[in-house]
Structure 1
Amino acid sequence: MTRSVYVTGIDRGDGRQVVELGVMELLTRQVDRVGVFRPLVHDGPDRLFELLRARYRLSQDSASVYGMDYQEAAALHAEKGTDELVSQLVERFLAVAREYEVVLVLGTDYAATQLPDELALNARLANEFGASVIAVVGGKGQTPQSVRAETRNAFRAYEALGCNVLAMVANRVAPDERAGIAERLAARLPVPCYVIPDEPALAAPTVAQITHALGGTVLLGDGSGLARDALDFVFGGAMLPSFLPALTPGCLVVTPGDRADLVVGSLAAHSAGTPPIAGVLLTLNERPSDEILTLAARLAPGTPVISVAGNSFPTAGELFAMEGKLSATTPRKAETALGLFERHVDTGDLLARLAVARSGRVTPMMFEHELLEQARADRRRVVLPEGTEERVLRAADVLIRRDVCDLTLLGDVEIIRKKAADLGIDLSAAQLIDPHTSELRQSFAERYAGLRAHRGVTVELAYDVVADVNYFGTLMVEEGLADGMVSGSVHSTAATIRPAFEIIKTKPEASIVSSVFFMCLADEVLVYGDCAVNPDPDAEQLADIAVQSAATAARFGVEPRIAMLSYSTGTSGSGADVDKVREATKLVRGSRPDLSIEGPIQYDAAVEPAVAATKLPDSEVAGRATVLIFPDLNTGNNTYKAVQRSAGAVAVGPVLQGLRKPVNDLSRGALVSDIINTVAITAIQSQGPSQSPGPSQSPSRIPSKAQEPSA
């Protein structure tokens, strides 16, 4: 039977979209097919559904999402009564429920609906849908006493109407009152009550939203600049020396278009990071000269300069009446909302109360969700040596907003801040370090010289070496100042992992450092190793790769069933390449009899039950393999890329294994999502020991430049 969750409220302005988005995130971690149903809808686009559809790749037809519009519902209610209205909405809900494992129901919004007793209608619908209720109460501008009273009254109202109330949420409360409200409500309610503080960035309109609302013209600015939140408005009328101190971080400067001095001064302050602004809004339909606009574009590339027709006073009235909205065009607001929800809601407890059985399938999205949740569960610090790279900054923005882990970014601090300001990214929660000027440089040099003394490295030489961001980041990990490191978006594989070999070194039980990719197919996750590090491992090394890969798979929730791949299955072939795989399989069976392993085996026999039934009918691995070990780098690297491109798989990795502390390498073509996933994996690797990969067999080897793969 389809389960459903009904998120509702008691009035307007409760900001429940944060809760609806958060609940959707929880549901999509558990099941593949989640449907959405909104019983009543206003005319015009449904911003929240468009966000859910874009973010969670929903294939649901939008026509099936909505029961009816409010005007139709009011007319039907007036003519035929509540029972007929509810009956028709139930029929439309059931049409969705038949198609999905779980349905998220978005309650009515209490906005000029012309329906009597809307709370009772939501309760009735929840009961008729067989849905559990999460009720949201808005706390914006209310006293703690009022928030507590309204929350208790809302619980009693829904309970009295027969609803199964899973939890209450008091949303948008004053941040400094949150803890006290939560403590008092916990003692007075029989169900959990999650208290979420107000977050100004969610209510702040973006520059793009302001431009659209005011009918403005974009004179300068790119998509990143237009996506910035306008956290404050500063109106320019004074002379520049008096005006500059009034600027605040994230503010939108509003000034008449003929004040070129304020335009240039504001953008110069932004360029210097003192402070970064959201943009400039010019009134009176005045456009600065081309020379001024050219100078402005050079001072702060990407920063929006918008022109509107009205004068400053009526424009101010419109600006202060605007409020930001979650939508598919504001993905950073969605990250902020999810981070807020996950920080202040006990998601594990709520998921247990939802009682949604985990799907037998594991989709790429479910796997990625689980990575972020695991990383967040035991917070770690990850150092990112490529702090001036745009993709790294965008990934850091998401990781900070989602509260996944603590971050240290390396590089010229002023350049990092300027690039972040140009992208509208707030790095105040991250640690920024310039290795060249850091007070740690001398002690790191002494540490590195001690480690490499046998190679003739002096402190003076080491002082230059440790200024390199990858060496500096690796030493931070070694010295316990960070728990892991992720690099490689602009550095080679060798430049990323060579410092780890020299400083961190391998685990005592590991013979080599190797790698795996998590290949997220449509309905399962496979582990491929080694596709990025070792060009031609011998039998002992191949056995070590298999054991390490099994341990990595288990660490991330994939039950390891190992297939040692070759061009031959079983005893059907011979030759040096097959014999190497056969010997490696024998070594694994001897050292780790607890592992399920088959080899040599061809790829089709490893993953396809019908082929396995013919070629190896008695094998417990054939047809069900989850960890696929390739005989050499040429085979592995090409296969993972072929599957990635041809089958549309999401390839997460390479994930390095065998080091004492986690360091991971990115592809130089890594997307922002790849960096986010790799950082999460690195944080998880640092959280605790994984399954022991078996006895040590030989020292690790660093791939040469000629051998370096293009992962």
Structure 2
Amino acid sequence: MKHCFMLSPMGSSTGASSVAMGVLHLADQRGLSAAFFLPVAQSVQSLSTTFGAKPAMGMEQLHQYLSDGELDDALELIVAAYEEAAKDADIVIVLGLAANDQAPFAARVNAALAKSLDAKVILVTTDTEASHQYMNRKLEVASEVYGGSVHGRTLGVVINKAGAPRDVHGTIRPEMFDTQGREIPSAATLEKQLPIFRGGHFKLFGIIPWQSRLMAPRSIDLNRVLPVQMLHEGEAHTRRIEHVSIGARSPGNLVSVLQPGTLIVTSGDRNDVLQAAALAEINGKHLAGVLLTGGLEPAESTLQLIAPALKSGLPIMLTKIATYPTATRLPSLYPYTPDDDNERFDAVTEHVVAHLEREKFREMISVDGERRLSPAAFRYNLVRVSSALKKTIVLPEGDEPRTVEAAIACAKKGIAHCQLLAEPKIIDELMKKRGWDYPERNFEIVDPRSIRNKYVNAFVELRKHKGMNEVRAHQLLEDNVVLGTMMLQQNDVDGLVSGAVHTTANTILPALQLIKTKPGSSLVSSIFFMCLPDQVMVYGDCAVNPDPDAQQLADIAIQSADSAAAFGIPPRVAMISYSTGSSGTGADVEKVREATRLAKELRPDLLIDGPLQYDAATTASVAASKAPDSPVAGKATVIIFPDLNTGNTTYKAVQRSASVVSVGPMLQGLNKPVNDLSRGALVDDIVYTVALTAIQAGADNPETN
């Protein structure tokens, strides 16, 4: 059943579009197919680009329909556009009109839209109300438009931009340096004091606190509201304007405003102000930049004098407009986000999601049936489940910068307790150089020199049948991967992640020698979790077995299906070949055909089919013609390649050509979890591999099933 929810802004500048991004992200985390629908184009830049949605009509067109008394005709067009946008979605988020000078009729149109689309309504407001009594009345009035807060369409409200800095007129002024934010009311306080929340019909879906950096445009974005010439671009693409200060003071009185994130606006002939800003930059106060007005360009000698600040990245900009009119234009920078500012979009979404009441939204957007596991849902579940398990993961490459940064991220997210094998002095130097802080918990530096002797006897005992002795054991334990593997073998840690600087063989060989395979496993194999745009699929084996025979290929298929199920992906296994069904012959096809037979025989409970070509396995239209009777074709979630050449080539082609995130490889078949990284792994790759490893380590925990 499709669900439609409309976010209805209670006034202008409520940030309803940001709330929409958060709700869509929550739906995606739950594996729901969510669509965004914009009925009418509003003066909101980037919305269509952000959500990939085209408005059903423009504001001017709506004006014409209303002036002609033809709202019903307009609604027919909007409903037609909605049906097209919503045809493949479980839920649809509709953004209602915001009441402003362009749309004084917003409430009337929104009410008609909610009825036409059969939408439930969530109000979006800011905390501008002077008292709880007035706020309650305002919510009641807004709800009445949709039939009331008890029996109508209104589900509740999201309070956005809580505690925002405002001027004496109550207008939000993010650019004003001296304007302070206000105290944020708690959800419990409002639910207790506002009668509208009593009875549970009308819910408070979240209080999203104001955060100035989320509103901060980049310095480069000044050219959206002013004709600006870049005298020195510096870090204008990454520095953000959190405050604006007019540099009319003498340098001695500028100290309090020369703070990180401040844009200094001053006349171009104020060399003293420019030099003061440069001095602040050199002393670590990374300003958003200096905007020189009046078209007055500083002398070359002045630019040479402030060269160290320019080298540090301080942007220097010039506009021909005078200081006062320049200052009056700057507030229009803040409300909207440019198309290319992905960092801001992501930060806003993360902030909104963190402050929405997840359980209330889960109840609201509950949909029956199998849920698509989206990349966001997969990553969210990795963090959620691994955090609950509280496992200890050893990282043998403990002084490698990406690994250290990933361990810090894991600690902050609570994914696992990471043990870095490294000399503490090296980590201290790296932390200082990168400006990182040691996490308070879940982060530990273990000096390999202090623990090696502890494992010598156990190492000798494990490998004595191969002629191992103490001298050789000491030598081998100099390798931190071997040392970490022994820590795992002796149950001092729960899992191991390596490979950022070591080869796959360096990681796997000690595991095969010391950890060994699980009972019943004939081999160790690997899978990648491929985070495609609409779902997560499993690819195996793309990293370990060069040319598995039919029995080994069957084992890989079974291992991969079980791994997929363990991570919430319903396993439908496609055994890949260059032909589908009985259309082709040859040794390679016969191997896949025999592997499919063996896998089905060993695990009749699994959906396994093959041989299938990749397009027949993944594309419904191709499957309909090539394998119409297959229970897997067109909807495969687990792809098993016939050999390493095919698997490794395909996963890398998909990963790079389609900009797909691939998590893994995750090793299967070992007694204890050991996982390899690509040497090109990003920090996020390492973080999610640590999470995978922690979940593998807790495989007997009911929460992972």
TM over 0.5: yes
Q: How many Å apart are 1:17 and its aligned residue?
A: 2.0
Q: How many Å apart are 1:107 and its aligned residue?
A: 1.2
Residue 279 (str. 1) matches residue 288 (str. 2): yes
Query: What is the correspondence of 1:95-110 to structure 2 with a 5 Å cutoff?
Result: 95-101=81-87, 102=89, 103-110=92-99
**Which residue of 98, 111, 134 maps to 2:122?**
134
8 Å Cα contact 1:74/1:115 also seen in 2: no
**Which residue of 189, 204, 208 maps to 2:220?**
208
Q: Which runs of 5+ in 1 are unaligned?
A: 54-59, 421-426, 694-711
8 Å Cα contact 1:530/1:633 also seen in 2: yes
**Mean Cα displacement is larger for which, 346-355 or 563-572?**
563-572
Residue 165 (str. 1) matches residue 154 (str. 2): yes
Q: How many Å apart are 1:286 and its aligned residue?
A: 4.3
Cα separation, 1, equivalents of 2:141 and 2:490:
54
Aligned position for 2:361: 350
**CA displacement 1:537-577 (0-9 Å, x = unmatched):** 466654543332111121233333445556797899787x7
Aligned position for 2:377: 370
Query: What is the correspondence of 1:247-646 to structure 2 with a 5 Å cutoff?
Result: 248=259, 250-252=261-263, 256-258=270-272, 261-270=275-284, 277=286, 279-284=288-293, 285-287=296-298, 289=301, 291-292=304-305, 294-300=307-313, 304-308=315-319, 323-347=334-358, 349-354=360-365, 367-378=374-385, 380=387, 412=427, 438=445, 452=459, 456=470, 492-494=503-505, 510=521, 512-519=523-530, 526-537=537-548, 541-564=552-575, 588=599, 592-597=603-608, 626-641=637-652
Corresponding pairs, count: 651
Q: How many Å apart are 1:176 and its aligned residue?
A: 5.0
Q: How many Å apart are 1:194 and its aligned residue?
A: 1.5
Aligned position for 2:113: 125
Cα separation, 2, equivalents of 1:650 and 1:138:
37
Aligned position for 2:102: 113
Cα separation, 1, equivalents of 2:307 and 2:231:
11
Read off the aligned partner of 2:214 and give its amino acid letter.
L
Cα separation, 2, equivalents of 1:245 and 1:669:
44
Cα separation, 2, equivalents of 1:240 and 1:447:
62
**Which residue of 657, 662, 671 maps to 2:668?**
657
Aligned position for 1:38: 39
Aligned position for 2:78: 92
Change (3 A) 1:217 1:592: same
**Mean Cα displacement is larger for which, 87-96 or 375-384?**
375-384
Change (3 A) 1:616 1:491: same
**Mean Cα displacement is larger for which, 226-235 or 579-588?**
579-588
Cα separation, 2, equivalents of 1:474 and 1:120:
70
Q: How many Å apart are 1:354 and its aligned residue?
A: 3.5
8 Å Cα contact 1:220/1:297 also seen in 2: yes
Change (3 A) 1:615 1:66: closer
8 Å Cα contact 1:51/1:327 also seen in 2: no
8 Å Cα contact 2:36/2:51 also seen in 1: no
Q: How many Å apart are 1:679 and its aligned residue?
A: 6.7
Read off the aligned partner of 2:20 and give its amino acid letter.
E
Cα separation, 2, equivalents of 1:668 and 1:120:
58
8 Å Cα contact 2:402/2:683 also seen in 1: no
Cα separation, 1, equivalents of 2:79 and 2:50:
21
Change (3 A) 1:40 1:604: closer
Report the secondary structure of 1:46's partner residue. Answer: coil
Cα separation, 1, equivalents of 2:280 and 2:560:
53
Cα separation, 2, equivalents of 1:477 and 1:309:
70
8 Å Cα contact 1:478/1:504 also seen in 2: no
Change (3 A) 1:176 1:685: farther
Q: Which runs of 5+ in 2 are unaligned?
A: 164-182, 421-425, 462-467
Cα separation, 1, equivalents of 2:628 and 2:201:
55
Report the secondary structure of 1:218's partner residue. Answer: strand
Cα separation, 1, equivalents of 2:247 and 2:473:
54
Cα separation, 2, equivalents of 1:477 and 1:233:
58
Read off the aligned partner of 2:281 and give its amino acid letter.
L
**CA displacement 1:279-310 (0-9 Å, x = unmatched):** 3324354446554565345445xx54434557
Change (3 A) 1:444 1:90: farther
Q: How many Å apart are 1:531 and its aligned residue?
A: 0.7
Read off the aligned partner of 2:111 and give its amino acid letter.
A
Change (3 A) 1:163 1:523: same
Change (3 A) 1:9 1:625: closer
**Mean Cα displacement is larger for which, 4-13 or 380-389?**
380-389
**CA displacement 1:668-704 (0-9 Å, x = unmatched):** 55678867875775676566548999xxxxxxxxxxx
Q: How many Å apart are 1:133 and its aligned residue?
A: 0.9
Aligned position for 1:50: 49
8 Å Cα contact 1:138/1:172 also seen in 2: yes
Report the secondary structure of 1:4's partner residue. Answer: strand
Aligned position for 1:13: 13
Change (3 A) 1:216 1:574: closer
State the identity as a percent. 33
Cα separation, 2, equivalents of 1:638 and 1:433:
37
Aligned position for 2:464: none
Cα separation, 1, equivalents of 2:379 and 2:621:
36
Aligned position for 1:68: 58
Cα separation, 2, equivalents of 1:476 and 1:442:
17
Report the secondary structure of 1:516's partner residue. Answer: strand
TM value normalised by structure 2 = 0.71
Change (3 A) 1:209 1:680: farther
Cα separation, 1, equivalents of 2:486 and 2:237:
37
8 Å Cα contact 1:31/1:359 also seen in 2: no
Aligned position for 1:199: 211
Cα separation, 1, equivalents of 2:141 and 2:108:
13
8 Å Cα contact 1:67/1:89 also seen in 2: no
Q: How many Å apart are 1:21 and its aligned residue?
A: 1.1
Pairwise CA RMSD: 5.5
**CA displacement 1:566-605 (0-9 Å, x = unmatched):** 6797899787x78876886677567645334457777688
8 Å Cα contact 1:449/1:462 also seen in 2: no
Report the secondary structure of 2:186's partner residue. Answer: helix
Report the secondary structure of 1:226's partner residue. Answer: coil
Q: How many Å apart are 1:516 and its aligned residue?
A: 1.2
Cα separation, 2, equivalents of 1:546 and 1:515:
10
Q: How many Å apart are 1:327 and its aligned residue?
A: 4.1
Read off the aligned partner of 1:92 and give its amino acid letter.
I
**Mean Cα displacement is larger for which, 143-152 or 206-215?**
143-152
**CA displacement 1:235-261 (0-9 Å, x = unmatched):** 779999997787655455667555565
Q: How many Å apart are 1:213 and its aligned residue?
A: 3.1
TM value normalised by structure 1 = 0.71
Q: How many Å apart are 1:391 and its aligned residue?
A: 12
Report the secondary structure of 2:562's partner residue. Answer: helix
Report the secondary structure of 1:531's partner residue. Answer: coil
Change (3 A) 1:629 1:105: closer
**CA displacement 1:88-140 (0-9 Å, x = unmatched):** 24433323324532543211122223625x43442232123322211112125
